[in-house]
Structure 1
């Protein structure tokens, strides 16, 4: 997971949420539970979004910290987590989990390298969940056996990741027996070459579901532009370029049940500059990566404005923007591409859709597209 344009002032949520609940302005989604799960990573909460909290099955707070091999949460982050937990009053079916890790966060390889380290990680994670009254743990190690994010890695990470999850599952089960509940365990996992350090078949029985990070397919480290969260391969993709469908097929081939696969949607775009003009900038070389853009800013300043023209890839089922004057290219998810992902989830009988990140969709427009796509 990558942090994207977080906005200040989220601490107001803890103050305003009780007022919303007291006035009865919260509306939960009607109907029986869906077989499809909507999972949202959240670094904070906007009180205005509480009206739609009934559409969310699981919120995953990002992030707890990993320090000296122990999973924990400081006072500031615990306050935000408690704001999310308070939303259970609006949606009794809501689960609130805690993610540990994130892009550039190290310490996993070291913690997983010994039996003592794995037990310390596992027991501290279970203690954190019980102390905070959360519902589960999400492990976001980016990535076992890889050091692209600047963290330490080891050839032994592949075996040790399985052992780490095994120890964590056991600690969560012990805590659950004591507390009379099941603490869930999920993992944020990439695809393609980034899963080479994971024994998918071995970790599968240990996890309640996989959060497939089917976004960031193109970024500052890739040689061309492209769809950073495309569903299928564009005709312009050469070789084994990453797509959501290819990620799903990779995990299915490893024996994972489809209902345990939750595919990712991005509530942000990626912009590239000095892009070669062929094919309106799609899958072309570029001068430099410009940055990441949250959905509200995309709508206000980019989509079909200031020279940025929206295009749609019918094969990939993904939009992009091209600015012919400035040679800028933007790749992103929007309601149309999210509807296509929802249709894909239903056709393939997958577990649902997850997204990064809650505060980037303040009007719940993209959340609503997920909900409608999975329930209509």
Structure 2
């Protein structure tokens, strides 16, 4: 009898453990995709990542080298293999590769002819097969627009479509489903230089970079990753509003007018263009942008600056270094649905996403039937329960 009881207890314990494992996996069944771009950093390797809170992780970056997809850094090979191996513990996870990135050249030449496109596409398939990946994200910044020293030509517009078509056809030949995405800009001029609806026929998702709405060279302190839309009329009395109004008056007829940028506005724009909301992934920033020499009027918002601040502004650094003790006051813009920091002593303004704005972006994605939320990038997050990823994940589970 004692032996029988022992067996029954062991069975109950086994079932209980399996149930706990099962529950953990079921928790990842969130109503939207949660996609992380990931740049490896010391102390945050694949076995240390909160992968149970993700649906997709996009390893960043491979590059276009000699017309082919390759790693520039040899150590990336081993780290990507470690990341793919984590799928044994996290079967819900899709591991992808991002090719390109800011200042990454080579796309325009690689897709210029049928032969060069075939070469690049073939190398991409070989890359995916080598690492047994679940898909690829093309981060070409930007077709037909020279940026960050990259080559661009008018033919990029059509060639980008041909690239995505060729990739889709090649990926569909593999023996397992493949995800094809691309990173798109969060401003309207970009969409004049891609055949948007044609491209969307071949991709699963468009990851809209609804961050960097203001860069280091921006002459005014403003939001860089705002969700909520504010019209130019709303800020016309501010220094930024005055500057935009003057610039608009000098623009040639037909040019896009300067206006405050927001995730809501660019997503509305894409949907009105005919993009299926289910294919749109909203972007969040796990880093900030800041400027010096910002006067105190309106706690620095929309005021001129004298240049970008030096040093890192990852979310983890913002939590530890940009504190009230260091002189920073935290403010919330209810229209832009975004936070910002202002240091009146040092005249520094910082724009970023926090847990509140991240939750609002997650709600927005769900309520508007978007394909999901993505962010740049995972290694910049805090490594505790106050992390931005945890805020996204817990908010998504409420729905």
Query: Which band: TM-score by shorter chain?
Result: 0.7 to 0.9
1:25 and 1:51 in contact (8 A); partners too: no
1:26 and 1:51 in contact (8 A); partners too: no
The Cα of 1:83 is off from its aligned counterpart by 1.8
Which residue number in structure 2 is paired with residue 250 of structure 1?
269
2:31 and 2:366 in contact (8 A); partners too: no
1:103 and 1:149 in contact (8 A); partners too: yes
Among candidates 359, 364, 367, match of residue 347 of structure 1: 367
Which residue number in structure 1 is paired with residue 331 of structure 2?
311
Among candidates 183, 189, 199, match of residue 188 of structure 1: 183
Among candidates 254, 268, 276, match of residue 295 of structure 2: 276
Distance 1:26 1:330, change over 3 A: farther
1:204-227 residue CA offsets vs partner (Å, 9 max, x unmatched)? 011110111110101123231211
1:211-254 residue CA offsets vs partner (Å, 9 max, x unmatched)? 11110101123231211100013443745222111121121122
Which residue number in structure 2 is paired with residue 330 of structure 1?
350
Aligned residues: 349
Structure 2: how far apart are the matches of 1:366 and 1:290? 23
1:58 paired to 2:56:
yes
Structure with bigger gyration radius: 2
Find the residue that maps to 2:172 and give its secondary structure. Answer: helix
Which residue number in structure 2 is paired with residue 119 of structure 1?
118
Runs of 5+ in structure 2 lacking a partner?
1-19, 242-257
Structure 2: how far apart are the matches of 1:309 and 1:38? 31
Distance 1:367 1:119, change over 3 A: same
1:71 and 1:121 in contact (8 A); partners too: yes
Distance 1:276 1:148, change over 3 A: farther
2:197 and 2:275 in contact (8 A); partners too: yes
Find the residue that maps to 1:372 and give its secondary structure. Answer: helix
Structure 2: how far apart are the matches of 1:27 and 1:68? 47
TM (norm. structure 2) is: 0.83
The Cα of 1:149 is off from its aligned counterpart by 1.2
Tell me how large the CA RMSD over aligned residues is: 2.1
Which residue number in structure 2 is paired with residue 38 of structure 1?
34
The Cα of 1:150 is off from its aligned counterpart by 1.0
Distance 1:51 1:167, change over 3 A: closer
Distance 1:29 1:55, change over 3 A: farther
The Cα of 1:50 is off from its aligned counterpart by 4.3
2:207 and 2:374 in contact (8 A); partners too: yes
The Cα of 1:75 is off from its aligned counterpart by 3.5
TM (norm. structure 1) is: 0.88
2:31 and 2:396 in contact (8 A); partners too: no
Find the residue that maps to 2:122 and give its secondary structure. Answer: helix
The Cα of 1:51 is off from its aligned counterpart by 6.9
Structure 1: how far apart are the matches of 2:24 and 2:69? 33
Find the residue that maps to 1:164 and give its secondary structure. Answer: helix
Which residue number in structure 2 is paired with residue 212 of structure 1?
208
Deviates more, 1:302-311 or 1:210-219: 302-311
